[in-house]
């Protein structure tokens, strides 16, 4: 880009107040001593003042009303933290962690670590007996139903919260 500024460009920068201190001093001297620069400056100042005094256009009287009517149908995309209860998230997390840790303790507790003749650790883990907890189909079905119901209730709770949030908006 051409860095050589024309006199007009220098004058605009001076009028806009973005000239460097050196240029400002130089232009002020020119405006005092040079009739051409002075005439140009006055011409540009006139345009500048006209531009500053130019009118803003106004939209129709119903503008704000129209916007607000449209807005009532909309919602700001809310931050997820505003409609998800952290206590539930923590509760679910703690529940699953306790379950996993419990099963691990129970499982590792069954393994006889002193016996050396088993070849691999996977063999030892494969011998863990969970039949105490999951011993028949009926229990498995019962647990599955509970999980589905739990998810259904959780979904219900979250939808109610969301509806409540929207109503508040």
Partner 1 sequence: MSTGLNDNEIISKVLNGDHEAYAGLVNRYQNYVFTLTLRMIKSREDAEEVAQDIFIKAYRSLSSFRGDSKFSTWLYTIVNTTAITFLRKKKLDIHSLDNEKVFEVADSQDSGLRANLVEQKSKVSMVNNAIALLNPDDAQIITLFYKAEQTLEEIAQVLGLETNTAKVRLHRARTRLKEKMETHFAEEVRDLN
Nearer to partner 1, 69 or 129 (CB): 69
Quick check: 26 and 11 in contact, CB under 8 A?
A: no
**102 near partner 1, rule: CB under 8 A:** no
How many residues belong to the site for partner 1 (CB under 8 A)?
36
Range in contact with partner 1 (rule: CB under 8 A) among 9-17, 119-127, 134-142, 147-155? 9-17
Query: C-alpha 43: how far from its chain's center?
Result: 50
Using CA atoms of 98, 101, 103, 109 in order, give the dihedral in degrees to the nearest 10: -140
- Which position among 70, 109, 122, 137 is part of the footprint of partner 1 (CB under 8 A)? 70
**63 near partner 1, rule: CB under 8 A:** yes
Torsion sign, CA atoms 147, 149, 152, 154: negative
In whole angstroms, the minimum distance from the beta carbon of 62 to partner 1 comes to 9
- Which position among 4, 35, 36, 77 is part of the footprint of partner 1 (CB under 8 A)? 77
Query: C-alpha 51: how far from its chain's center?
Result: 39
């Amino acid at each position: 880009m051409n860095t050589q500024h024309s006199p007009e460009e220098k004058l605009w920068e001076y009028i806009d107040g973005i000239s460097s201190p050196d240029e400002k001093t130089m232009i002020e001297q020119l405006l005092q001593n040079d009739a051409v620069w002075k005439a140009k400056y006055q011409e540009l100042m006139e345009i500048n003042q006209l531009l500053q005094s130019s009118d803003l256009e106004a939209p129709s009287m119903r503008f704000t009303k129209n916007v607000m009517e449209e807005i009532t149908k909309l919602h700001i995309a809310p931050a997820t933290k505003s409609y998800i209860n952290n206590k539930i998230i923590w509760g679910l997390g703690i529940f699953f962690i306790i379950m996993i840790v419990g099963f691990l303790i129970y499982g590792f507790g069954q393994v006889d670590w002193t016996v050396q003749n088993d070849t691999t650790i996977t063999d030892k883990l494969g011998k863990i007996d969970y039949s105490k907890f999951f011993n028949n189909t009926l229990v498995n079905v019962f647990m599955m139903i509970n999980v589905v119901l739990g998810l259904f209730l959780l979904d219900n709770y979250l939808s109610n919260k969301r509806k409540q949030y929207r109503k508040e908006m």
